[in-house]
Amino acid sequence: MGWHFRVLVVANVTADSPELIRALTARTAQDPCSFTLIVPAPVAGSAGREAATARLETALANLRAAGVQADGVVGDHDVIAAVHEAWDPRRYDEIVVCTLPTGTSKWLQVDLPHRIQKLTDARVRHVVAEPPRPKPEPRHHPHQEPTRLALLTPLSAVTGKRPPRA
């Protein structure tokens, strides 16, 4: 049996991105790997931890559905502190940092992949993922009747009177 690599993954907004899932799947194809995903809380406090927990659960479900062996933890809202708390060179062999693209990523503005490499002296792979697309709003709610306006409604702006509903 060959070496089994253990990889620490750091991601937040991109934790369940297709780009990260593809990168981890490709890494598993190279060598047997297991992954621990750290999702830093977006803000300090219980609200931040709750948001990170929800994101972590979604990401882990998507990773496992893709056949990636992964577990995860919610980290400190300061990503450097989160990595510092989790990093153990006896436990992990390398680190993957997933960010949004340059110009969008706050993590790249502070040079996070290089800062983590200096902090841990580990091999750090950087994955860039596109921002998640917002879910489209439903056009109308099925339980509400659409508003029907009278034929002369456009003239109400001129006359100042609201026409009766049709």
Looking at residue 132, its pLDDT comes to: 79
Token digits of residue 142: 């099925």
Looking at residue 150, its pLDDT comes to: 57
Rg (CA), the chain: 23
Looking at residue 56, its pLDDT comes to: 97
Residue 11 and residue 40 in contact, taking contact as beta carbons nearer than 8 Å: no
Band of the pLDDT at 16, cuts 50, 70, 90? very high
Strands (E), 28-69: 33-40
User: In terms of DSSP H, where are the helices of 1-45?
Assistant: 18-30
Residue 81 and residue 115 in contact, taking contact as beta carbons nearer than 8 Å: no
Q: Domain residue spans in the chain?
A: 5-128
Query: pLDDT digits over 96-154, tens only?
Result: 999 999 999 999 999 999 999 999 999 999 999 998 777 676 665 556 555 555 555 56
- Identify the CATH assignment for 5-128 out of 1.10.150.20, 3.40.50.620, 3.40.50.280, 3.40.50.150: 3.40.50.620
Query: pLDDT digits over 67-82, tens only?
Result: 999 999 999 999 999 9
Q: Which residues pair with 71 in a beta bridge?
A: 36
* pTM, entire model: 0.79
